[in-house]
A and B are shown apart, each in its own frame.
Chain A
């Protein structure tokens, strides 16, 4: 299926989803749905660097927060429409991702992972000490009550995040099926051999980091309007990081489907748990699921489904033509 057709189908599904929630009449679902969609973006973004390339980023929260804080910075200066802020968030976080990659991607995967953690803390410290965006006291954003033609403002935010999520998933799928996707896979499988065969690994990793960071920034850009009061501690919170890792790992890292499945399932679960139980137990469940899946089902839910359908031992099943037909363009065993 070609990517533009996929994108259109997603738009249609998205509109139907939006319409469905409107019909349900409970605006709380928009609030909860926004968070789930936000995680779809974060999980998909993380997976581009983590699942496709094999480089674990422990700094997702920082890229998310950068998007949020660039919104705050512009808000203080001149309030811009959110779609523009989303693009700005993408650029800021993408640029920082690129810079971070340039500093650290020559290192082995483990060092890269630790470096991302370090970067996240450095960024948080910088923001905490930057009074213009409120520093540790936090920043207030005044959110309009309503906005035409959506009505309640939350519906507008939901729609924006829905579009960003559709965009993220389309980008991920596009990458997967392109030459870039093959290159990423070789980096994950055997970086040394990839270099020896002509793959410009550093350049590709930088591209992955920039795209991944940029998408996370897009997820963060509308956040100040959603939450109203932005605090560094929560915005840079490890909760975003652990979720952006757990969701793809639980859903499945080899294709764009995994992060989507993981985000929807885990995100919804957490929304329910936070309301009914407590946010601490919430995180405990995430941690347990992450550890459990990583041990027992390394290819996530998608991997389990494949195993069930094909009755084969748990393969590195995924996008490529395993047991398929040769056609003119790349197709995968996942639509």
Chain B
């Protein structure tokens, strides 16, 4: 089984603070990976380093047989990595549909893809429909609720037609049925071949979705394996779950 994503001894410091300490793991094509851990454990930093928003000082990231070191974030996105931001970062002066236009123009079109032959307009509308935001297509992000902004984040990342998607706390604040909606959306994506790394605190969702679970605590990986085994791991219970 060739790994789609291979992280090897990844290390990141901020001044004297060690945010990531020798993280290594692999992700297979088509896998559904759950990434959990307490706040501040380095999950988002890890995503930032893999996607190129931050530079890691040590270690390497290989994606689809490409060594990513030295490439910029936008190059990695064009190679097939996409992510949502934990705190949504919409383009405030663009309407929702124009927000989606960006990855369609700059990632999909730049790859030479014809995004399934649909014109950009229709494709944007389609994506907005998938997350239930089509009624607000021409509104500005400032008119959205927090929950809606997270959905926009997800739609935007999907628009980039990634091979691997990091869903970073896309479900925060959602109701039970909304969580189900997002989960089924992610499952649909996965069925189409997209590898998904789910970063969440909602354990119910993580457990039902993930084929494998990786646990990060204080910048270190403390568990990596079958979800049922991982949640019973005493160290994981102590550090994150058990109260």
Contact = CB atoms under 8 A, between A and B. Distances in A.
A–B contact via C-beta, under 8 angstroms: yes
A185 interface: yes
A200 B121 CA distance: 22
A186 B94 CA distance: 8
A190 interface: yes
B91 A322 contact: no
B78 A321 contact: no
Interface in A70-116: none
B105 A179 contact: yes
A196 B93 contact: no
B102 A195 contact: no
B80 to A, nearest CB: 11
B95 A322 contact: yes
A324 B85 CA distance: 29
B77 A198 contact: yes
Given A195-B74, A197-B77, A315-B140, A320 B107 contact: no
B93 A320 contact: yes
Given A193-B85, A316-B140, A185 B94 contact: yes
Nearest to A195: B73
Contacts of B83: 196
Interface in B79-96: 82-83, 85, 89-95
A186 B97 contact: no
B25 interface: no
Contacts of A189: 90-94
Nearest to A188: B93
Interface string B85-123: 100011111110110011101110010000000010100
A182 B102 contact: yes
A175 to B, nearest CB: 14
Q: Indicate the size class of the contact surface on chain A.
A: 20 to 34
B167 to A, nearest CB: 14
A183 B94 contact: no
Interface in B139-195: 139-140, 156-157, 159-160
Given A197-B107, A322-B138, A182 B94 contact: yes
Interface in B36-91: 51-53, 72-74, 77-78, 82-83, 85, 89-91
A254 B140 CA distance: 15
Interface string B179-223: 000000000000000000000000000000000000000000000
Contacts of B89: 190, 192-193
Contacts of A200: 72, 74, 106
Contacts of A196: 51-53, 73-74, 77, 82-83, 85
Contact of A197 (B72, B102, B139): B102
B106 A197 contact: yes
B94 A198 contact: no
Interface string A118-140: 00000000000000000000000
Contacts of B94: 182, 185-186, 189, 320
A194 interface: yes
Pick from A182, A183, A193, A316 the residue with the most CB of B within 10 Å: A193
A117 interface: no
A321 B96 CA distance: 10
Contacts of B93: 185, 188-189, 254, 316, 318, 320
Contacts of A192: 53, 89
B98 A182 contact: yes
Nearest to B88: A193
A11 interface: no
Contacts of B106: 179, 183, 197-200
A316 B78 CA distance: 29
23 contacts: A182-B94, A183-B105, A185-B93, A189-B93, A192-B89, A193-B91, A195-B53, A195-B72, A196-B51, A196-B52, A196-B73, A196-B77, A197-B82, A197-B103, A197-B156, A198-B102, A199-B74, A199-B102, A320-B94, A321-B95, A322-B138, A323-B138, A328-B119
Interface of B: 51-53, 72-74, 77-78, 82-83, 85, 89-95, 97-98, 101-103, 105-107, 110, 119, 121, 138-140, 156-157, 159-160
Interface of A: 179, 182-183, 185-186, 188-190, 192-202, 254, 315-316, 318, 320-324, 326, 328
- Nearest first, the 8 closest Cβ-Cβ pairs linking A and B are A198-B107, A316-B93, A193-B89, A198-B106, A195-B73, A189-B91, A198-B77, A197-B103
